[in-house]
Amino acid sequence: MTAVIETNGLGKQYGRQWALRDCTLRVPEGKVVGLVGPNGAGKTTLLNLTAGLLAPTCGSITVLAGHPGDGPAQLEKVGFVAQDTPAYAGLSVAKHLLMGSYLNANWNQELARDRIDQLGLDPRQKAGSLSGGQRAQLALTMAIAKQPALLLLDEPVASLDPLARREFLQGLMEIVAKHEVSVVLSSHLIADLERVCDYLVLLVASHVQLAGEVTELLATHQRLSGARRDPRSLPSSHEVIEESHTDKQSTFLVRTDQPILDPAWTVKPVTLDELVLAYMGQARNPSPGRRPGLGVVS
Amino acid sequence: MIRFAWLQFRMQAAVAAGALAIVAVVLALTGPDLVHLYDSTIASCAAHHDCSAATTGFTRTDGPLQVFLDFLVLAVPLVIGMFWGAPLISREFEAGTFRLAWTQGVTRTRWLAVKLGLGAVASAVIAGLLSLMVSWWSSQLDQVNADPFDSLRFGVRDIVPIGYAAFAFALGLAAGLIFRRMLPAMLTALVGFVAAREAVTAWVRPYLFAPLHQSLRITTATPVSIDQTSPGIIKAFESTRGISNPDAWVYSVQIVDQAGHTPTTSFLSRACPLGNYGPLNPRDCTARLAVTFHQLVTYQPGSRYWPMQWYELAIFLSLSIVLGGFCFWWIRRPVI
């Protein structure tokens, strides 16, 4: 599988502070990738590096087989919806589309105008007076009308109300269905991603804690509960991600390719939300003797 | 990219063009009157032997407007630097819109080249047109006032305001790029521009050309005054009378002997004993001085006015280019 983004030991330092450090990841082509992680994990830095707004302090990053921000051709291949979806307050919606058509060789004005119509936006309205949801939609329209091969969205719904959030994600899904575009969408809310993403990258403190197809991740993780027992007594094919114990009972979240045959267990499927939280917890208190990077598949 | 830059700039351009048009109308209405007044008073005053009254009357015409126009030409580059240059990039950072602008299919180097080019050219054109109009309007007044090298007037006439405006714009832009916030950028443009103007006026302009020297005989017709506070220095002879060009910029007038020495205190106290109101006997004093001393006038001739205008324009345009080059270097650095 070809990668749209490939990083190796990527790092970005501000003064003495590392915003992203030693990040190695691979984002496959043709997916809608959810980039999740707690605040400060380096999601925004990673996306800005990918868009070419930032230059790395160390390590390497390849985006669509090119160097980010390297010339107009590379810039046109990447659509970017930045955090807080900035727009020129004094320019109208129509002027924003005009701006896109002036600045992008592959701009599809018809697509942009249709989308604005469909959203019910008044082309004459100034971007400064749009609601947060409308502005996000405008930013998405601009990013998609340049017909990129890779669409990056940095926390696009973080500041939106639930309705605007649903509409935005719906719009994104329609775009994905219609266009051949790889998408990377960052969020710290897993619930947002669950509906749109088919691939998940969990970034904790710059490190990829978990990466993989959502369906595969859900299929290979189970929650087991039963009589209290030592995690070391589990079969070696079961990797314990999270465990909790009461006096009598033990609950484990395990990763395994094998079917659970032991009848002593009650087996329950996990949700994406639980999965992500478990891996975040694992990153915070890695069990002794377990390599933190073990969960990485790529 | 040019079309996009124009899309963003046209409001400001329209405001500037509008203001310029208003000034043009005011000048077009008052200018011909001034010419008429000149023709009817100054041009014919010699015949009536009444030139000083005519001159005073003429130079006071439209006094407030004269002051206002000089102030306008003086302030326009500063306004351009603070309100065009400084916000150009800093506002993109403050609003986060640089993330939108610099992820379109145009590199940020190109983006800067167009923004900088358009802004600098517009600044130069606005300041140039304004200065041209004001110089035209003031031409008769300036002729009567003489002294084209007056430190204020030199900077608000002809072509130097073009260089000031381009420089102020580039300075504001560079400050905005470094600080990424509008207010510090505006302050830097203000302080930096005023400092650069003052520095060039005080320390560069007088040294652009080596001054000329002229020796003038001291005659009994030359009035003498001796500085009461430091009697060693003879302060003011009527200095420029003997210089052929009345538009000269006189740096200094000294009383020196053949060897270039100024009179000693002891010589002065003997030759020109002081009373309560200067020398007791000015005619004797002058006559005694004239035996061994002459006046040495250090000056720039009026013919160097235009070369100095061009030089100063070149200095400020060069500074603008250096600042522009700095912006290109800076914008390639990692952002955010």
- Give pLDDT tens digits for A219-264: 899 898 888 888 888 888 888 888 888 888 989 998 888 888 788 8
Same domain, A17 and A133: yes
Which of A205, A228, A246 finishes a domain? A205
DSSP per-residue letters across A176-212: HHHS--EEEEEES-HHHHHHH-SEEEEEETTEEEEEE
Side chain identity at residue A4, one-letter code: V
Residue of A45, A102, A146 best to disrupt the B interface, most CBs of B under 10 A: A102
Q: Do B96 and A84 touch (CB under 8 A)?
A: yes
- A175 belongs to a structural domain: yes
Q: What pLDDT is stored for residue B291 in this prediction? A: 81
Task: For chains A and B, count residue pairs whose Cβ atoms are closer than 8 Å.
Answer: 85
Residue of B103, B108, B330 best to disrupt the A interface, most CBs of A under 10 A: B103
Is-contact A242 A274, C-beta < 8 A? no
B249-256 vs A249-255, strand pairing mode: unpaired
Which of A155, A178, A205 finishes a domain? A205
> What CATH code is carried by the domain that includes residue A119?
3.40.50.300
- A215 belongs to a structural domain: no
Average pLDDT, chain A: 88
- Kindly report the nearest CA distance between residue A162 and chain B, in angstroms: 24
- A211 belongs to a structural domain: no
> Does residue A1 carry a pLDDT above 70?
no
- A7 belongs to a structural domain: yes
Q: Which residue has the higher pLDDT, A286 or B292?
A: B292
3-state secondary structure (DSSP) of residue B262: coil
CA separation for the pair B173, B320 (Å, rounded): 10
Lowest mean pLDDT among A11-20, A197-206, A259-268: A259-268
Which residue from B11, B100, B102 is facing A87, i.e. has the nearest CB?
Answer: B100
ipTM of the complex: 0.87
- Kindly report the nearest CA distance between residue B35 and chain A, in angstroms: 46
Q: Do A75 and B106 touch (CB under 8 A)?
A: yes
Contact list in B for residue A90 (CB cut-off 8 A) is 11
Q: Do B4 and A89 touch (CB under 8 A)?
A: no
CA separation for the pair A39, B326 (Å, rounded): 35
Same domain, A99 and A237: no
- A237 belongs to a structural domain: yes
Which residue from B3, B95, B103 is facing A80, i.e. has the nearest CB?
Answer: B103
Side chain identity at residue A209, one-letter code: Q
Q: What pLDDT is stored for residue B78 in this prediction? A: 96
Q: What pLDDT is stored for residue B228 in this prediction? A: 44
Q: pTM value?
A: 0.87
- Kindly report the nearest CA distance between residue A77 and chain B, in angstroms: 8
Residue A195, classified by CB atoms within 10 Å of its CB into exposed (0-12), middle (13-18) or buried (19+), is: exposed
Q: Do B334 and A55 touch (CB under 8 A)?
A: yes
A183 backbone dihedrals φ, ψ, rounded to 5°: -125, 135
Q: What pLDDT is stored for residue B334 in this prediction? A: 59
Q: Which residues of chain B have pLDDT under 70?
A: 46, 49, 219-246, 275-279, 334-336
Contact list in B for residue A100 (CB cut-off 8 A) is 104
Same domain, A268 and A170: no
A121 backbone dihedrals φ, ψ, rounded to 5°: -85, 140
Q: Is A99 on the interface with B (CB under 8 A)?
A: yes
Contact list in A for residue B99 (CB cut-off 8 A) is 48, 51, 53, 80, 82-83, 86
Contact list in B for residue A127 (CB cut-off 8 A) is none
- Kindly report the nearest CA distance between residue B102 and chain A, in angstroms: 7
Same domain, A148 and A65: yes
Name the closest residue on chain A to residue B331, using Cα atoms. Answer: A53
Query: How does pLDDT run across A108-131, given as a tens digit for each residue?
Result: 999 999 999 999 999 999 999 999
Name the closest residue on chain B to residue A105, using Cα atoms. Answer: B105
Q: Using CB atoms and an 8 Å cut-off, which of residues 106-125 of chain A contact chain B?
A: 106
Same domain, A279 and A160: no
Would you report the helix, strand and coil content of chain B in percent, each value rounded to 5? 70, 10, 25
Contacts 24+ apart (CB under 8 A), A291-295: A292/A207, A292/A209, A293/A207, A293/A208, A294/A239, A295/A209, A295/A210, A295/A239, A295/A241, A295/A255
Residues spanned by the domain of A24: 3-205
Q: Is A48 on the interface with B (CB under 8 A)?
A: yes
Residue of A77, A103, A146 best to disrupt the B interface, most CBs of B under 10 A: A103
Is-contact B252 B243, C-beta < 8 A? no
Same domain, A59 and A113: yes
**Number of domains chain A is built from:** 2
Same domain, A102 and A187: yes
Q: Is B329 on the interface with A (CB under 8 A)?
A: no
Q: Do B335 and A54 touch (CB under 8 A)?
A: yes
Residue of A14, A46, A53, A155 best to disrupt the B interface, most CBs of B under 10 A: A53
- A111 belongs to a structural domain: yes
Q: What pLDDT is stored for residue B231 in this prediction? A: 39
- Kindly report the nearest CA distance between residue B333 and chain A, in angstroms: 8
Same domain, A186 and A60: yes
Same domain, A33 and A132: yes
Q: What pLDDT is stored for residue A259 in this prediction? A: 82
Please state, as a whole number, how many other Cβ atoms lie within 10 Å of the Cβ of residue A285.
7
Same domain, A134 and A49: yes
Same domain, A257 and A224: yes
- A255 belongs to a structural domain: yes
Q: Is A72 on the interface with B (CB under 8 A)?
A: yes
The alpha carbon of residue A263 and the mean position of all alpha carbons in its chain are separated, in whole angstroms, by 37
- Kindly report the nearest CA distance between residue B176 and chain A, in angstroms: 18
Which of A155, A173, A205 finishes a domain? A205
Q: What pLDDT is stored for residue B240 in this prediction? A: 43
> Does residue A298 carry a pLDDT above 80?
no
Q: Across residues A188-209, what is the average pLDDT?
A: 85
Longest dimension (CA), chain A: 68
Contact list in B for residue A42 (CB cut-off 8 A) is none
Q: Is B99 on the interface with A (CB under 8 A)?
A: yes
Same domain, A33 and A83: yes
- A212 belongs to a structural domain: no
Which residue from B104, B333, B334 is facing A103, i.e. has the nearest CB?
Answer: B104
